[in-house]
Amino acid sequence: MSTKQVVIFVAPPGAGKGTQSDILAEKFGFFHLETAKIIEKKFAKADPSDADINTEKQNFLTGKLVSPEKVTTWVIEKIRELAAQKISIVFSGSFRTIYEAKQEIIVAEELYSKDNIKIFYITLSEEESVRRNSSRRICTANRHPIPNLPELQNITACPQDGSALIKRKLDTPDIIRKRYQEYMDRTLPVLDFFKKHNYSVIEIIGEQSIESVTHDIHQNFKGN
């Protein structure tokens, strides 16, 4: 893909934004910027005596969003790094709040141009989110998500890197419901922000197979 682009997925937990970001990254050479991975790395490197970081970490582990101010700083650092290398980006977990959207979209527009930004909204009900996440796994090497879908239920290793699969402690029904409500209260309003700023939001039905969701997304990249 010659023109460098930014793709933003807005979707509730379990809608497949991580999976679709991996697929898009592989097909078109995007960098999959996964906010959760950035957060976890920052927590792993933090000073254990840092009370502020420990509070943020506890919020994260109980399903609450980490402080938008902290996350925004970390994400903008990565956007600038990738733009300097002329690398396209697909976001699977950023722009989670109005605050983050306002700050991060300015940087994305500055470095990539508004015309080169695509926004996808993947829909998914709360019950389907709980069902998928309660049994989902991730791989130990790169955190590739393995959704609870019929075609993936019997695999024992990551299809992308061959590493072992594990179930996260975060993926319990109670925590997932809290994360879904956080999404409804704090992330979903981001779509209205984008629309008011003259972005076209492309809606994708999430309650279908991975292949069907991929097909619907890739229809918007024809000619690239």
In the CATH scheme, what is the homologous superfamily, with its name and number, of domain 6-125+186-221?
P-loop containing nucleotide triphosphate hydrolases (3.40.50.300)
Which residues, at least 6 apart from 186, have a Cβ–Cβ distance to it below 8 Å? Answer: 65, 96, 97, 98
CA distances from 223 to 2, 175, 218 (A): 11, 41, 10
H helices, E strands: number in the chain: 9, 8
What value does the mean pLDDT of the chain take?
Answer: 89
Per-domain residue ranges for the chain? 6-125+186-221
Q: At what angle do helices 35-45 and 51-61 cross, to 10 degrees?
A: 140
pLDDT of residue 133: 84
- Is residue 99 very low, low, confident or very high in pLDDT (cuts 50, 70, 90)? very high
Among 16-25, 45-54, 75-84, which stretch is predicted with the lowest mean pLDDT? 45-54
pLDDT of residue 223: 59
- Is residue 168 very low, low, confident or very high in pLDDT (cuts 50, 70, 90)? confident
pLDDT of residue 200: 94
What is the SS3 assignment for 164? strand
Over residues 193-201, the mean pLDDT reads 96
pLDDT of residue 37: 84
Residue 101 has pLDDT above 80, yes or no: yes
Residue 120 has pLDDT above 80, yes or no: yes
> Pairing relation of β-strands 31-33 and 89-91?
parallel
Residue 43 amino acid letter:
F
Residue 5 has pLDDT above 90, yes or no: yes
* Chain segment 40-66, per-residue pLDDT in tens: 887 877 777 777 777 877 777 776 777
Residue 224 has pLDDT above 60, yes or no: no
pLDDT of residue 152: 82
Residue 205 has pLDDT above 90, yes or no: yes
- Is residue 85 very low, low, confident or very high in pLDDT (cuts 50, 70, 90)? very high
